[in-house]
Homo-oligomer: A and B are copies of this chain.
Amino acid sequence: MTRKAAIIGGGVIGGGWAARFLLNGWDVAIFDPDPEAKRKIGEVIDGARRSLPALYDRALPPEGSLSFHDGLDDAVAGANWVQESVPERLDLKHKVLAKLDQAAPVDAIIGSSTSGFKPSQLTAQGARAIVAHPFNPVYLLPLVELVGDRDQCAKADSILRDIGMRPLTLRKEIDAHIADRLLEAVWRECLWLVTDGIATTEEIDDAIRMGFGLRWAQMGIFETYRVAGGEAGMKHFMEQFGPALSWPWTKLMDVPEFTPELVDLIATQSDRQSGQMSIRQLERLRDDNLVGILRALRRNQAGAGKVIADHEAGFPPLPHSDQLIETVHRVVPSSWTDYNGHMNEAHYLEIGTQATDRMMEIVGAGPDYIARGKSYFTVENHISYLAEAKEGATLRVTTQVLAGEGKKMHLFHRIQNGETLVATMETMLLHVDLDSRRSCPPEGEVAEALAQLATRHTALPRPDQAGRHVGQRA
Contact = CB atoms under 8 A, between A and B. Distances in A.
B207 A143 contact: yes
A378 to B, nearest CB: 5
Nearest to A376: B340
A383 B385 contact: no
Interface string A167-207: 01011101110111111111111110100111101111111
Among all A-B residue pairs, the 7 with the closest Cβ atoms: A205-B220, A292-B296, A213-B216, A143-B211, A217-B217, A143-B210, A252-B252
A470 B382 contact: yes
A141 interface: yes
A121 interface: no
A178 B203 contact: yes
Contacts of A136: 228
Interface residues of A, number: 156
Nearest to A200: B171
A282 interface: yes
A239 B259 CA distance: 10
A353 B335 CA distance: 16
A471 interface: yes
Contacts of A302: 285, 288-289
Given A212-B135, A238-B263, A286-B219, A385 B380 contact: yes
B249 A303 contact: no
Contacts of A235: 263-264, 267
A204 B178 contact: yes
Contacts of A199: 168, 170-171, 178
**Residue among A168, A212, A271, A335 with most chain B CB within 10 A:** A212
A12 interface: yes
Contact of A250 (B229, B252, B263, B437): B252
A290 B248 CA distance: 32
Q: How many copies are assembled?
A: 2
Contacts of A428: 470-471
A150 interface: no
A465 to B, nearest CB: 9
Given A185-B250, A246-B255, A345-B353, A297 B304 contact: no
A46 interface: no
Contact of A467 (B251, B375, B471): B471
Contacts of A189: 181-182, 185
23 contacts: A12-B228, A88-B244, A141-B214, A168-B199, A174-B196, A178-B193, A181-B249, A184-B244, A184-B249, A185-B252, A205-B221, A209-B219, A216-B217, A223-B274, A223-B282, A238-B266, A289-B303, A292-B297, A292-B299, A299-B335, A349-B383, A379-B385, A380-B382
A66 interface: no
Interface string A344-380: 1111011011000000000000010010000101111
**Residue among A203, A214, A218, A427 with most chain B CB within 10 A:** A214
A449 interface: no
A212 B471 contact: no
Interface string A291-303: 0111111011011
Contacts of A251: 181
